[in-house]
A and B are shown apart, each in its own frame.
Chain A
Amino acid sequence: MSTYVEARDVAAAVAAMADGARPVAGGTDLVVGARHGKAPLPESIVGIHRIPGLDGISVADGVVRIGALTSHAAILSSPELASATAGLLDASAIVGSHATRANGTLGGNVMNASPAMDTGAPLLCHDASVVLTGPGGTRRVGLAELWTGPGKTSASPDELMEAVELPLPPEGAGSAYVRLQYRRQMEIAVVGAAAYVEVSDGAVSAARVAITALTPVICRVPGSEEALVGRRLGSNDSVSGENPAVWTQTTEIGDAIHAAGQAAAAAATPISDVRASAGYRTAMAAVVTRRAVTAALTRATGGSVTVPASDWSER
């Protein structure tokens, strides 16, 4: 016998989850998964979609906090996130269709833990963690510790994700997410990559790179990051130009971007499926990584990269 309750606050949601109920937010993974036979709907469901205070975006004390119920559409229309976490906007902009983005939430995307989900790689590059609240209290878990396998997290079934938190990036930082796609909407990443860079005194002072749909869980690529840190960008003129080809292919940073791509391909252990062979995915890992790093560096140095960067880099 199936049951449903709607939670009006976090405590009620956690209590229902402790009794065995699965939370549903936008339902665009949970309900749709049941529709196409992936997994039947849970017998006991708790609606969390109207809990006050679980949506919304705030920046305070150097921390960007995005409530679990924040929709992809709300992420896209946030000026704070557009400047702080452009790579997250690149991801939310290409989730499903406008209906998917109006209902699908960041919490659902992250907790669903698909290796192909779009917000994962940019959030990992932004060093994000999730705020989990269960019967025993609240804890923060980094994304690398949260995702334990395809569709699996280390959160216990009675822990509600309240928010994603990440450090407010300093001046001179930029991020981007690029996925390889056969069409621009209603698509799943064939492969994807995100990059976060900080640039100071004309050189890369920090770099984080993560890959999507290339490993059982979305993960960072230390080899790509090492290839970038410390490398000089060349003159400001060539860096902030609209045409990144000028500086990405012929300079010290161009070699570093190439090496970052090669390291991503070396880290990839993809599957072959109807969408692409493992060999093709591995080859494209290098391409999307180069594109993501290029877009992130362009943003970090004041250049314009329109959202979503996937379209920008194919232009």
Chain B
Amino acid sequence: MSIDITLTVNGVSHPLAVDPHASLLHTVRDQVGLTGSKEGCDDSECGACMMLIDGRPVNACSYLAVQADGAEVTTVEGLADGNDLTPLQRAFLEKGGVQCGFCTPGMLISATALLRDHPRPTEDQIRIALSGNLCRCTGYDGIVAAVAAAAEQG
């Protein structure tokens, strides 16, 4: 049985029919067609799939799409304004926070949620907030530096 839902993704509303067990990640990638959010573990461990639901960071691989019916979903594609990157995105580029880029969409979503709640985070707060986001490339220092730099630009 499929269920009719409306997902508002990055401000655009999408009427969809989804399986009750479908994940929000697969729904957004396969039915909405936004593939910025990645699937790493499909198990809430790596954070590559993170989106915001009504502002809350969520591991979309392990969240039922039906539960997001009517909610505002933000993916990495929704952060920039056209070609204008956010200060956080620019800082990731400037500080070496991106290598292969697989973790980057989730890192950016996680850090966006952090900076909204804590505009001036300590290094420890940054590391705690990003602890659900794994990166196999950068060694994290560039990412932490990027979040700190974006916070300074406020």
Residue in A98, A183, A184 whose beta carbon sits within 8 Å of that of B114 in the complex: A98
Dominant SS among interface residues on chain A: mixed
Question: B122 interface residue, CB < 8 Å from A?
Answer: no
B131 engages A2 (CB within 8 Å): no
**Chain A residues positioned under 8 Å from B114 (CB to CB):** 98
* Docked pose: A31 CA to B23 CA in angstroms: 9
**Chain A residues positioned under 8 Å from B14 (CB to CB):** none
**Chain A residues positioned under 8 Å from B58 (CB to CB):** 99, 102-103
Question: B64 interface residue, CB < 8 Å from A?
Answer: yes
Number of A-B contacts (CB under 8 A): 89
Segment with Cβ contacts to B, from A41-49, A55-63, A171-179? A41-49
**Chain B residues positioned under 8 Å from A35 (CB to CB):** 42-44, 61-62
Q: A28-B44, A35-B42, A35-B61 are in contact. Are A6 and B69 (CB under 8 A)?
A: yes
**Chain B residues positioned under 8 Å from A4 (CB to CB):** 3, 20, 64, 66
Minimum Cβ distance to chain B for residue A117 (Å): 16
Q: A3-B1, A6-B69 are in contact. Are A98 and B129 (CB under 8 A)?
A: yes
Please name the residue on chain A nearest to B109 by beta carbon.
A99
Residue in A24, A183, A185 whose beta carbon sits within 8 Å of that of B67 in the complex: A24
Residue in A24, A97, A98 whose beta carbon sits within 8 Å of that of B64 in the complex: A24
**Chain B residues positioned under 8 Å from A1 (CB to CB):** 1
B20 engages A45 (CB within 8 Å): yes
Question: A245 interface residue, CB < 8 Å from B?
Answer: no
Question: B57 interface residue, CB < 8 Å from A?
Answer: yes
* Docked pose: A102 CA to B42 CA in angstroms: 19
Starting from the known contacts A6-B66, A24-B67, A185-B128, 7 additional A-B residue pairs (CB-CB under 8 Å) come to A24-B64, A32-B59, A41-B21, A45-B20, A98-B128, A99-B59, A185-B132
Q: Can you list 26 A-B pairs with a CB-CB distance of less than 8 A?
A: A1-B1, A2-B20, A27-B64, A28-B59, A32-B43, A32-B62, A35-B44, A35-B61, A35-B62, A41-B21, A47-B64, A49-B67, A97-B131, A97-B132, A97-B133, A98-B57, A98-B113, A98-B131, A98-B132, A99-B44, A99-B110, A100-B59, A100-B132, A184-B131, A186-B131, A186-B132
